[in-house]
Structure 1
């Protein structure tokens, strides 16, 4: 049984990574059976913990054990999206025996800590907090039920359990981290607990680092000071004290700005995001310079090792055969879900990630005449698969998802899958020849799905945004939609221009190469696999965090 009284990372540490770090994140996508994540932020923190384990870093994760997860994505009778919530139970989590009390609304809420040992899924140690305890009243029990609860007060309480509760847990464990790393500002309430612990803002700053993932000010959480104060978010500090500490007057508290004001080091998650972030936050005094550490995905977890082996051996026949096998196997899942039986010989385009308006899931289908011409072309046929989870209360995104479901009913080579989690994500990357990614530039901070797609023999086809800007060699390792003038054009004109370019590249470059020049296509696939292997493996990222942020 693990001893949690004087907790140490239970494996021999690499000396260059001996600095102790507690890494706070609202979601972790470690492995399919542990459903405590919604999308990119979770995929990123999951890969980070896997790399921390691989590199033997002195880092522990602090998260929340969501009883109902994010949501289960099922279907209504007409195949449209149905959000369902089921209780999850996990036999592989250890009970630490630790219970702490976090004040919420000036009332003590009991919080229990569960533990995911490193050897279970090959990840750094992860501690998960839950309020689902008989000692709590029903309302308090529900705080850790649903990830990103739509109710404002519930969401603030969740942030407090992660922030204040997580910082308390670290003390209970006697882990004594040199640094508290806030992955996004959700755990920002920890600042006020640490103020009591360390006694001054200057001391807290020595121990706090912050990562921002959001390239728009509107995307950063803001709440009313009086609501936060009423809920005990500031852990005994008055509103006037908090306003003085954060240099934020008025009625609105900006969680990201507060985290920046308390952090000794801060980073964003791609080079382009760095430029956007420095423009966005640059006019605020007394914040650290926002460095760039580009997001990445864990190669060991995501990559198809057979494909890599055949590529390294130069065995093209085995390489092509393996990709066909991966497509065929993934198409079984598509057939099971949708009744559509896809052909592994046919060029397969996949759009799969979180459904959000700026990611433009339905862009390729917005000109119906062109779309129909594309999917009905028998000379150079295509198959298209969509998947991804909209936020369950984002009715705009849900209606886009449902419109694609209805559209797919008209074509035997168009499918929409549900239950987009880690397992389906990996299979759809293996199913795809082309990984379509068309966010509105420059709104994608990083967008990592294309990295793991390339690790599975898929070619990125993307607008020039996020991590892609550091990877792209058009026609050599991917295909890029030329940049529209995003400063002067209206959103409608941007969309139209991007759509025209998207079809031009598909018809004039992608389809002819795939069907008429197999060797060139294989070269592009393998160049992507090669270029993503080290630069966009999360081992590089986890190493950079130690060099730049934890130094």
Structure 2
């Protein structure tokens, strides 16, 4: 083992995230941020890296989604038995919230690969000795008001560091904040540093000592998407928070605690999650050096069984070296297509059984599954509906599979679901449309492997990275997407998929007013009508060639193993 590898693998990294997806039966995630966290921890376990995950336990989950006959989303608590999946740990730690002492316990989940385990600790305040309000902090992910969220983030950041110490993690080489929700951990590290050197007031040397320990990954390319709390509320909830003195600007942003700025100011390494996202982040936060590490997906977690069998047959050591997936370029096209048809049949059987849709395996099937919110533009493919109907009549039948939750407070997102639901009567018989409820890990695995095309059309530049298209690619499903997030790096036109709208050079010069839903919709329709669907219906061998290229080119690079090793080289070592 060389010197670098030996030293890198012996380092201990604490990975903090407001949500972590480790099992579809454990509802501690809402979407991409949590799934990425789970894939990161899986990658760490796969390469034998010493990492520990920290998140919150949500006894009622994010929410269980039901959609009624009018397309109205209903949110229900998720019912799950915590100790069926997690193991309670002995230590208890306490933090101060307002004038109360809050006790925290931890539950353990182990991410295992080969002989290596990465522990993940879920923090819980639902204890009899706590105030009734504090017991609810282990209730809902992204629920409640500002006070509730700030209390939760204090439990995660401050309580998380305290819990790691109580569990015996005395030496941690890096604290990685996956988005700003956990950035209060820097306060606890600062308190530890000051106690170690006997300082009553924080010095610049203390700040630098904390900064040397911290790594921050930002995911949100929109200023309004970053958590911030009024200082009045902060002083009420966290009376020890340093809002005065010469270091005030390290902790405060004007009259607010901005969790992103706190993480930016107290991290020695900062990155965005795609090259384009880092460029946008540097414009948002112009005084900070923000690197790029493009996201990746944990291939074994997202690979469908039929494609895995092909890997086992033609690339027998692929699990040990994910980059060897590039050799998928030699897998016979006929076998790629047959494997895809198995996945497609599994998906359509599920859809037909659940929704009585009568979807046909021979018909071109498009998938769109992600958070239902305005900037994702879920309705773009229906703009105008007459054009979509005409394409289905002239080129061939179209099947559309939608899924995704709208945040309970996102009224426009909920209306989008209703409008999609209401479109069905206006579709010609050649188009079938279904909206699947309760999008989760299990449903995502069905959809990304079983559709013929993955559609993604957010309004640029608001897609930080996006990983659903990567999951589709590893299963041989090409993307049709705007050039934003990871797709700028992953799109080889006509080889790994297709782009919508502006090219890379136009995007660099584009201003806010240059983006047009109508223009992007026309570009989407043109690609479907003149390029993609004719290949699918008239030249399936050519379509299978594109599918194979998705696997070999994008699957071999946009994976969590590559992503994780970049973190080791740039941030952890």
Cα distance in 1 between the residues matched to 2:113 and 2:85: 7
Identify the residue that residue 322 of structure 1 maps to in structure 2: 339
2:525 to 503, 506, 514: 503
Q: Compute the RMSD of aligned alpha carbons.
A: 2.1
For the Cα contact (< 8 Å) 1:92–1:120, is it kept in 2? no
Identify the residue that residue 39 of structure 2 maps to in structure 1: 47
Cα distance in 2 between the residues matched to 1:471 and 1:114: 38
Identify the residue that residue 4 of structure 1 maps to in structure 2: none
Of 447-456 and 488-497, the range deviating more from structure 2: 488-497
Cα distance in 1 between the residues matched to 2:89 and 2:571: 30
For the Cα contact (< 8 Å) 2:46–2:113, is it kept in 1? no
Cα distance in 2 between the residues matched to 1:24 and 1:489: 35
Written as runs of structure 1 = structure 2, the 5 A alignment for 1:448-527 is 448-483=467-502, 494-527=516-549
Matched, 1:381 2:397: yes
Matched, 1:337 2:354: yes
Q: 1:304 to 1:515 in 2, by over 3 A?
A: same
For the Cα contact (< 8 Å) 2:304–2:343, is it kept in 1? no
Identify the residue that residue 384 of structure 2 maps to in structure 1: 367
Q: 1:527 to 1:313 in 2, by over 3 A?
A: closer
Q: Which runs of 5+ in 2 are unaligned?
A: 195-205, 311-327
**1:258-298 per-position Cα deviation (integer Å, ceiling 9, x unaligned):** 1111111111100011111112111x3xx4x2110111110
Written as runs of structure 1 = structure 2, the 5 A alignment for 1:393-432 is 393-408=409-424, 410-411=426-427, 413-432=432-451
**1:494-516 per-position Cα deviation (integer Å, ceiling 9, x unaligned):** 11111110101110000111111
For the Cα contact (< 8 Å) 2:14–2:52, is it kept in 1? yes
TM, length-normalised to structure 1: 0.92
Identify the residue that residue 365 of structure 2 maps to in structure 1: 348
Identify the residue that residue 325 of structure 2 maps to in structure 1: none
3-state DSSP class of the match of 2:375?
Answer: helix
Identify the residue that residue 203 of structure 1 maps to in structure 2: 209
**1:469-488 per-position Cα deviation (integer Å, ceiling 9, x unaligned):** 11110111110013176666
For the Cα contact (< 8 Å) 2:373–2:416, is it kept in 1? no
3-state DSSP class of the match of 1:177?
Answer: coil
Q: 1:241 to 1:338 in 2, by over 3 A?
A: farther
Cα distance, 1:337 vs. partner? 2.9
Cα distance in 2 between the residues matched to 1:313 and 1:447: 28
For the Cα contact (< 8 Å) 1:408–1:416, is it kept in 2? no
Identify the residue that residue 202 of structure 2 maps to in structure 1: none
Cα distance in 2 between the residues matched to 1:345 and 1:459: 17
Q: 1:160 to 1:354 in 2, by over 3 A?
A: same
Of 75-84 and 190-199, the range deviating more from structure 2: 75-84
Identify the residue that residue 128 of structure 2 maps to in structure 1: 134
Cα distance in 1 between the residues matched to 2:304 and 2:173: 37
Cα distance in 1 between the residues matched to 2:483 and 2:374: 17
TM, length-normalised to structure 2: 0.89
Identify the residue that residue 546 of structure 1 maps to in structure 2: 568
Cα distance in 2 between the residues matched to 1:38 and 1:491: 31
Matched, 1:262 2:266: yes
Identify the residue that residue 220 of structure 2 maps to in structure 1: 214
3-state DSSP class of the match of 2:465?
Answer: coil
For the Cα contact (< 8 Å) 1:184–1:210, is it kept in 2? yes
Cα distance, 1:14 vs. partner? 6.3
**1:327-360 per-position Cα deviation (integer Å, ceiling 9, x unaligned):** 1111122123322121111110111111121111
Cα distance, 1:246 vs. partner? 0.9
3-state DSSP class of the match of 2:90?
Answer: strand
Q: Which runs of 5+ in 1 are unaligned?
A: 1-12
3-state DSSP class of the match of 1:350?
Answer: strand
For the Cα contact (< 8 Å) 1:342–1:413, is it kept in 2? yes
Of 400-409 and 524-533, the range deviating more from structure 2: 400-409
For the Cα contact (< 8 Å) 1:30–1:123, is it kept in 2? no
Q: 1:492 to 1:442 in 2, by over 3 A?
A: closer
2:96 to 103, 112, 118: 103
